[in-house]
């Protein structure tokens, strides 16, 4: 929301008066004076006018979870356990999932209450790399490498995927990097080349890498550096 709108709405003054308060240096965001009435201000920022708080900063939450198999990437479900059940209730605070994994898949899952931040992390147009360790039913062929690098046509979305990379680990195991994160993308790409994914484990999203020391089902807050990397 624009700073002028916050000052007007929360301080009970006209938009013109709000602009004047801002221009004369009487408004601060997180303790820093701001003279730009068009400054975007998130709900996680404190806003004051003449030292009086008119918007409290809402606590932001950014969590890394090592998702175990068997949990839905959802906040509520009538049938299956959800990943939110692995998080302490006092941390829930409107948490949502930034980049889902299906119930059988494991690894890095991000939970946050910051919608703008999670959109930057997951939207296909941003093209943040996502790295998965994949096991397949059949050996991974050179054709799969070529097709992934060219991009694979998805009939349902009527689009070709952004070129992806396969790094072989063993005959039926590889590290796959994609840049979009579309619905079941890795599994659908392997299906398109005549193979089937038997296990999928996400290791990394952008510069956020799953901690080797974080056991399945456990979580930790993201560091300031990890949050700023998105």
What are the b/e assignments for 7-45, b being 16+ CB within 10 Å? bbeebeeeeeebbebbeeeebbbeeeebeebebebeeeb
SS3 151: coil
Cα gap 159→126, rounded to integer Å: 16
Which residues touch 40 (CB under 8 Å, ≥6 apart)?
1, 2, 3
> Is residue 50 annotated as a catalytic residue, yes or no?
no
- The single residue of 50, 94, 102, 212 carrying the catalytic annotation is 102
Q: Enumerate the active-site residues.
A: 102
């Amino acid at each position: 929301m624009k700073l002028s709108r916050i000052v007007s709405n929360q301080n009970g003054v006209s938009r013109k008066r709000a602009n004047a308060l801002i221009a004369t240096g009487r408004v601060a965001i997180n303790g820093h004076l701001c003279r730009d009435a068009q400054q975007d201000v998130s709900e996680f920022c404190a806003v004051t006018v003449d030292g009086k708080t008119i918007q409290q900063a809402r606590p932001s939450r950014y969590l890394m979870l090592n998702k175990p198999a068997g949990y839905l990437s959802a906040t509520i479900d009538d049938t299956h356990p959800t990943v939110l059940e692995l998080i302490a209730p006092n941390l829930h605070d409107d948490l949502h999932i930034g980049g889902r994994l299906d119930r059988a898949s494991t690894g890095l899952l991000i939970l946050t209450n910051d919608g703008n931040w999670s959109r930057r992390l997951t939207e296909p147009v941003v093209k943040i790399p996502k790295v998965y360790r994949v096991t397949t039913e059949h050996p991974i062929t050179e054709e799969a490498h070529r097709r992934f690098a060219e991009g694979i046509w998805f009939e349902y979305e009527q689009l070709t995927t952004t070129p992806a990379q396969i790094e072989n680990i063993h005959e039926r195991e590889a590290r796959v990097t994609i840049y979009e994160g579309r619905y079941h993308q890795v599994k659908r790409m392997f299906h398109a080349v005549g193979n089937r994914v038997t296990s999928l484990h996400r290791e990394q999203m952008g510069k956020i890498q799953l901690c080797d020391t974080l056991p399945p089902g456990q979580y930790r807050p993201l560091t300031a550096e990890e949050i700023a990397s998105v």
